[in-house]
Amino acid sequence: MKMKRIAALAVAAALTAGMLGGCGKKEKNYDSLLSKDDPTTITIWHYYNGVQLISFDEAVEEFNNTVGLDKGIIVEAYSKNSVSELADSVVASVKKDSGADLPPDIFATYAETACVVDQLDGLADMSKYFTDDELDEYIDGYIEEGEFAGDGSLKIFPTAKSTEVMILNDTDWKKFAAATGVTTDDLATWEGLTEVAGKYYDYTDALTPDVPNDGKAFFGRDSIANYMSIGGKQLGCSYVTLDKDGSAEMNVDKAALKKLWENYYVPYVKGWFTAQGRFRSEDAKTGKIIALICSTTGAMYTPAEVSIDDDNSYPIDNLVLPVPNFEGKDPYIVQQGAGMSVLRSDEKSEYASAVFLKWFTEKERNINFSAESGYLPVKKEACDLSEIENLTSKEGKELTDICKDTLKLAIDEINSSTLYTMPPFKNSADVRTFLENRIQDTAQSAYDEAMDKISNGGDRDEVLAEYTDDAAFDEWYDSFCTELQKIIEK
């Protein structure tokens, strides 16, 4: 991408002075398409709720009263309540399904939905409305995600992003660490985390010597698909490869998948990991786990106390730590969070959309929209904790300790790791759902069966070996590949 932009800069430098100044792709004077006397109305569909909805509506109102008023652009924004409802509504509108609303100009989207709409020839290439210098202001990985078509076009524009962090209940961790000698350094790898989780189970089991096999789970995570995709990337397992025409073929590495299985499925079946509430922050709140991985936005819901029941609760301190990597592998972190795509129409509407997106992602505005919710600003200069704290302070807002710790850690991760998200393709959303559910559902089923046998008198070690030995993995692996192949071939 950088070579392409360097070439574009060289061409721009050679242009005559009579052409639009600057560099890169935006050579036409698109402002001439707009008129204050004949304003262009732009419709945006999004999924924001709560604080984000209020913040976005305020931003739209500010735009309409300033830049929009000056240039002749009116923005109308509508919430579709959820990501899934928004995606369904956009696809239905582009297909002109019976009863569907007229399509929006801009919609918030993840790459999977953007790919579907693009295959319907529905997305505008936004790169021509920005210079290369302008695009270089954004974090490279965020722009690269929007270039999924592979032809240099920009089909998703970044607006607010997130990644993942580990949250550790430091109050209960210190008791455990004092008794066993573990340190937070042991949590830097998945292998280390799994080992620590086993020690925590034994430690908590020993607290009640008269009650056998009642150890507690140490860890849980919100997105299993992220574990599978990022872990797979580190271990050389992409699950799917795309040929030149975009057709998908299964690409599963058995050794890599076993490593993933050993560090989620196995500790889950043994009761070292768990997932009981809708989100792992709920499990941390009720004391079912003391460590979890969640998105930076999810970290805003980190509990400040543990409530065992209505009569027993206690305050806790929390640490924010990096997400583990596999031992000896290059560090990768997930990039997530919807961007904005623009439906193909006329240059006037597309450019008006670009004007709003450029305005919305200016440093101060983007920080104000993102930071309080745990989202990350999308420009390089905005990804600085001191900048974020200064600007939010100017607005009379104070970031919570967990918000500051989360943003600091996430920014450090972005600067030290490689951002990754699975590339979109036909059925990629179904593949992601499969990765989310398959290992979790089979681990939960095996755990339930194993615990039933143990509670009925079975020897714990013998029962667990039955569900976690090489033969169990081979059976699991074969079924995994069979089901994945079916999804790819749909």
Tens digits of residue pLDDT in 184-195: 999 999 999 999
**pLDDT band for position 423 (cuts 50, 70, 90):** confident
For the cut 60, the answer to whether the pLDDT of residue 247 exceeds it is yes
Residues composing the chain:
490
Put simply, whether the predicted model's pTM sits higher than 0.85 gets the answer: yes
Mean of the pLDDT values across residues 229-236? 97
d(CA 451, CA 271): 9
Domain that holds residue 47: 2-161+336-415
- The rounded distance, in Å, linking the Cα atoms of 60 and 424 is 30
Strand partners, 164: 295
pLDDT of residue 14 exceeding 60: no
Task: Report the pLDDT value the prediction gives residue 22, as an integer from 0 to 100.
Answer: 41
Confidence at residue 11, expressed as pLDDT on a 0 to 100 scale: 39
Q: For residue 482, what pLDDT is reported?
A: 98
Q: What is the mean pLDDT of the chain?
A: 92
> Tokens representing 136?
């270089």
pLDDT in tens, 271-287: 999 999 999 999 999 99
Query: Residue 421: what residue type?
Result: T
* 264 and 324 together in one domain: yes
Task: Judge contact between 365 and 59, C-beta under 8 A.
Answer: yes
**CATH code for position 180:** 3.40.190.10
- Residue 310's φ and ψ, nearest 5 degrees, are -60, -25
pLDDT at 16 over 60: no
Report residue 12's pLDDT band, with 50, 70 and 90 as the boundaries: very low
Residue 459 lies in a domain: yes
pLDDT at 217: 99
Number of independent structural domains in the chain: 2
Q: Residue 70 phi/psi, 5° resolution?
A: -70, -40
* Least-confidence region, from 71-85, 219-233, 278-292, 363-377: 363-377
Check whether 53 has a pLDDT greater than 70: yes
What pLDDT is stored for residue 27 in this prediction? 66
Q: Flag whether pLDDT at 131 surpasses 90.
A: yes
* 429 Cβ contact list (under 8 Å, min separation 6): 112, 113, 116
Kindly state whether residues 154 and 206 are assigned to the same domain: no
Query: Residue 2 above 60 pLDDT?
Result: no
**Which of 368, 396, 415 represents a domain boundary (last residue)?**
415
Answer whether residue 245 shows pLDDT above 70.
yes
Task: Say yes or no: 143 and 189 in one domain.
Answer: no
Identify residue 173 by its one-letter amino acid code.
Answer: W
Q: How far apart are CA 463 and CA 68, in angstroms?
A: 67
Can you give the pLDDT at residue 13? Answer: 40
Residue 421 lies in a domain: no
Q: Are residues 358 and 253 in the same domain?
A: no
pLDDT of residue 5: 40
**pLDDT at residue 471 in the model:** 98
Render pLDDT for 296-326 as a digit per residue (tens, 0 to 9): 999 999 999 999 888 899 999 999 999 999 9
